[in-house]
Structure formats: structure tokens, C-alpha cells
Chains A and B, each alone.
Chain A
């Protein structure tokens, strides 16, 4: 068969790069789907707990961060004896660092 007789490629055919991009998009969509499932499972557990209203009211926490705050803090009130302990847990407590040798 001569070169000129070869059939032309259809214009709708994905290029090599767009095929690769579509493969990556498919991977991302699977990850996104699993993340959404995790969020739903976390939300379900969170909503059914008595403390959820406390953490849901924290300014800026939102539906994504409130369950994570609760998970980090825990439901044992005796664990922290005061605000300083909570600050230390959150990593916002000031820590003295000596500047000299």
C-alpha cells in the first residue's frame, strides 16, 4: 500500500497527550469519589455524637474540620485540666526557646 493511500486519522481521535490527560482525570475522579465517601462516613459518625454541636459551632470549623477537631480533641473531658492543655494539644501554646548557647 502506498503512503498516500493510507486512511486519514479521524479528527475526533484523542491525541497522545489528551489520552494521558484523560487517564489522569479518571484517576482523580476515583480518588475524589473515595474522599467523598470518607467525608460522608465521618459526617455520619460526627452528627450522631452528643458533642458534635459544640465543635460544629467553632467559628471557621465547617462540616469538614469540625469532625477532625473532635477526633483530635477526643471526648474525654478529664484529659485537659484547663485551657493551657488544650492550647498545647492544638500547638498554639507559646514555647520558650533559649537563644543563647
Chain B
């Protein structure tokens, strides 16, 4: 029986799953990892790697423990491995993710990474507008809504926005699209002509 210790980090889990797959004597479907928890990062990593996993309650191997009652991580791993080898076919196995779920997991994970990106853009945008075009930050509740980009595109410098008539403002806001563009155009009018 091979003994190996890996760090409970992403790199450690990746090396463990890669090694398990490499040692597969047959298709990966028959490779079973025996773990003592039915959930958690290790379980998720093994399943995502396409391995079947058999979660085993540590209490089930209590009777095979040494009489001294000694406990250590290595001893627990050894007892679980022995239990997995002897009772393998009878163990409840959790199957790997289906291809659809695996793809959904990848998509949601990538989307979550992408969602963090706009902050890197919106924060400097907000700072820039507060310094040079504060009326936009006052008038637009959120810079990420379509109104702010449409307004900036139509009236890049403040002078141009001040020269615009209320009807022009209304047209730009309506095209953004902005609900209740007429009321909003009227609301924009006064602050635009106030001293900046």
C-alpha cells in the first residue's frame, strides 16, 4: 500500500487527482477514492476529476483501531484505505459529475471571476467623473446602468451637455433606454446648468 501526503490546497488536490487517474488500471470510472467526509473541497476535487468517491464514516473503522486507541492522520488514512480495499464493492459510491453539470460548474466559476472585473473599471470611472464631470455621478444612480454611458457618448464635454436643449436630453435618455426619460431629462436640466 502506497503512502503519500499532499497539502490540502488547490495544488495538492490537483496532484492527488492527477496521480489517482494516472494509476487507474482500467477506465477512470472504476477508480474510487475513499474519504471520511461526504462533502468538502477534497470530495469536490475528486468528483470534478471524474473519479468515483466512497465517503466512509470514520466510526465504521473504529473496531479495526489498535487496542491502544492511538489516532493520527496517517493511521486514519491507513484504516480507511484498508476498509476501502476489503469492503470496496459494498461501499456507497458517489458518482462523478455529469458532463452537463461539469460544464455548468465551469461556466459559473468563470462567470464569477468575470463579475469581479467590472469593479476594476467602474471605480476609476467613478473617480474620473467625480473629478471632471461630477454632474454625471450625481444624476446617474449607477454608472453601470445604460444611462451614464449613453449620456457620456452624446455629450462628452460638459459644455456640450449645457448647450443641449431639454428635448435633446430626453432623446438621448430615451434611446439609452431609460424609463421615464421625460422626467429624468427635466431632473437633469437644473444640475447641468448649476456651477460645477
Contact = CB atoms under 8 A, between A and B. Distances in A.
A81 B56 CA distance: 12
A99 interface: no
Interface residues of A, number: 42
Interface of B: 38-39, 43, 47, 92-95, 97-98, 100-101, 103-105, 107-108, 110-112, 114-115, 117-118, 121-122, 124-125, 128-129, 131-133, 144, 148-149, 152-153, 156-160, 163
A31 to B, nearest CB: 5
Q: Chain B interface mostly helix, strand, loop or mixed? A: helix
A74 B101 contact: yes
Nearest to A73: B101
B154 to A, nearest CB: 10
A42 B157 contact: no
Contact of A38 (B43, B107, B131, B148): B107
Contacts of A24: 121-122, 124-125, 128
Q: Which of A18, A19, A32, A34 is the most central at the interface, judged by chain B CB atoms within 10 Å of its CB?
A: A18
Nearest to B132: A17
Given A76-B94, A78-B94, A41 B121 contact: no
Contact of B39 (A14, A18, A42, A85): A85
A28 B101 contact: no
A24 B153 CA distance: 12
Contacts of A20: 128
B196 to A, nearest CB: 12
B143 to A, nearest CB: 8
Contact of B114 (A18, A38, A67, A74): A38
Contacts of B159: 11
Contacts of B103: 45
Contacts of B152: 18, 21-22, 25
A53 interface: no
Contact of A80 (B38, B105, B108, B117): B38
